[in-house]
C-alpha cells in the first residue's frame, strides 16, 4: 500500500477547483495539499509542496497548462500530471508532455476513480522499500499540555529569549524547544530560516518587500506583522519562492 497521495489542484476558475477538490475528497487516500489559480502560482506551489500528482487545467492566461507541465518535468521530484480541461483537442499534445491522464469537464466520477487507482499503482512502484514516515504534526508541550499542531497550519516559528513561539492562524504556542531543535524536526517540510531567530513556512508567504541595506520584510497569510529577513538569507529565499 502507498502512503497518502498528495495532490495539487490547478485551475484559473474557482468553481472548477472547488469541484475537483470535492471529488478528490471522496478518496480516503488522497489529500489535497494546495491549489493554484494560475500557471505561475502552480509552478511555485509545486516546488514548495512537492505533490505526488497535479490536476492541471490547460487554458489559463499567461502561462498555460502545457508550459506548466514542461516546467514541472524538469524538477528533481517530478509529479504525475493529470490534465483536467474542457477542451478535448489538446489530448495529443498533453501526452507529448508525458501526462498520465486527460480528464474532460464535466468530470466523470467513474473515470476519476480509475485515474486514482492508476496513480496509486504508479506511486507504489516508485516508492522505495523503506522510506521515512512524513511527520504531519508537531508535538509542542506548553503549560503542562502537549498540543499536536498540524505542520501545514504553522505560519512561522520565532525564538524570543528563553521561549520559542510557534505561530498558527488561530493561536500562538510557546515552547522551551530551541529553534535548532524545531528546525531539525521540520527539515523535510517547507520551512526556511529567514533570520537567526525566525523559521517561516514558505507555503504561507504572501509578500516580500525591500527594507534597507539589502534586508527585506516578509508577510505571511492571516497575520499583520512584518518579519525581518536577514540579507544573508534573501538570495536563497527568493530562489525557493521563485524557482
pLDDT digits (tens, 9 = 90+) for 138-163: 888 877 788 889 888 999 999 988 88
Mean per-residue pLDDT, 3-28: 94
Residue 137 CA, distance from chain mean position = 16
The pLDDT, as a whole number, for residue 42 is 94
| pLDDT higher than threshold 90 for residue 26 | yes
Mean per-residue pLDDT, 162-168: 92
| pLDDT higher than threshold 90 for residue 31 | yes
Beta-strand relationship, 198-201 and 191-195: antiparallel
State if pTM tops 0.85.
Answer: no
Q: How confident is the model at residue 131 (pLDDT cuts 50, 70, 90)?
A: very low
| pLDDT higher than threshold 80 for residue 203 | yes
Check if the beta carbon of residue 124 is closer than 8 Å to that of residue 2.
yes
| pLDDT higher than threshold 70 for residue 112 | yes
CATH 2.40.50.1020-classified regions of the chain: 137-242
Mean per-residue pLDDT, 208-227: 89
- pLDDT tens-digit map of 41-51: 999 999 999 99
Q: Which long-range contacts (CB under 8 A, 24 or more apart) does 107-116 make?
A: 107/19, 107/20, 107/23, 109/23, 112/23, 113/27, 115/82, 116/5, 116/24, 116/27, 116/29, 116/30
CATH 3.40.50.2300-classified regions of the chain: 5-126
| pLDDT higher than threshold 50 for residue 180 | yes
CATH code of the domain made up of 137-242: 2.40.50.1020
CATH architecture, domain 5-126: 3-Layer(aba) Sandwich (3.40)
Amino acid at each position: 500500500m502507498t502512503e497518502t497521495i498528495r495532490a495539487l489542484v490547478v485551475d484559473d476558475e474557482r468553481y472548477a477547483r472547488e469541484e475537483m477538490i470535492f471529488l478528490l475528497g471522496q478518496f480516503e487516500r488522497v489529500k489535497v495539499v494546495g491549489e493554484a489559480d494560475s500557471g505561475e502560482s502552480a509552478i511555485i506551489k509545486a516546488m514548495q509542496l512537492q505533490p505526488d500528482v497535479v490536476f492541471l487545467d490547460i487554458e489559463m492566461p499567461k502561462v498555460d497548462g502545457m508550459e506548466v507541465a514542461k516546467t514541472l518535468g524538469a524538477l528533481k521530484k517530478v509529479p504525475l500530471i493529470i490534465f483536467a480541461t474542457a477542451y478535448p483537442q489538446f489530448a495529443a499534445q498533453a501526452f507529448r508532455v508525458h501526462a498520465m491522464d486527460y480528464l474532460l469537464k464535466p468530470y466523470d466520477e467513474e473515470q476519476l476513480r480509475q485515474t486514482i487507482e492508476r496513480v496509486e499503482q504508479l506511486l507504489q512502484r516508485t516508492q522505495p522499500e523503506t522510506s521515512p514516515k512524513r511527520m504531519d504534526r508537531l508535538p509542542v508541550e506548553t503549560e503542562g499540555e502537549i498540543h499536536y499542531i498540524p505542520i501545514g497550519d504553522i505560519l512561522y516559528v520565532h525564538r524570543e529569549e528563553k521561549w520559542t513561539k510557534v505561530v498558527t492562524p488561530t493561536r500562538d504556542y510557546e515552547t522551551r524547544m530551541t529553534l535548532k531543535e524545531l528546525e531539525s524536526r521540520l527539515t523535510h517540510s517547507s520551512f526556511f530560516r529567514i533570520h537567526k531567530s525566525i523559521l517561516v513556512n514558505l507555503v504561507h508567504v504572501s509578500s516580500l518587500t525591500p527594507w534597507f541595506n539589502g534586508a527585506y520584510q516578509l508577510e505571511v497569510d492571516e497575520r499583520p506583522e512584518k518579519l525581518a529577513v536577514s540579507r544573508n538569507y534573501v538570495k536563497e529565499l527568493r530562489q525557493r519562492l521563485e524557482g
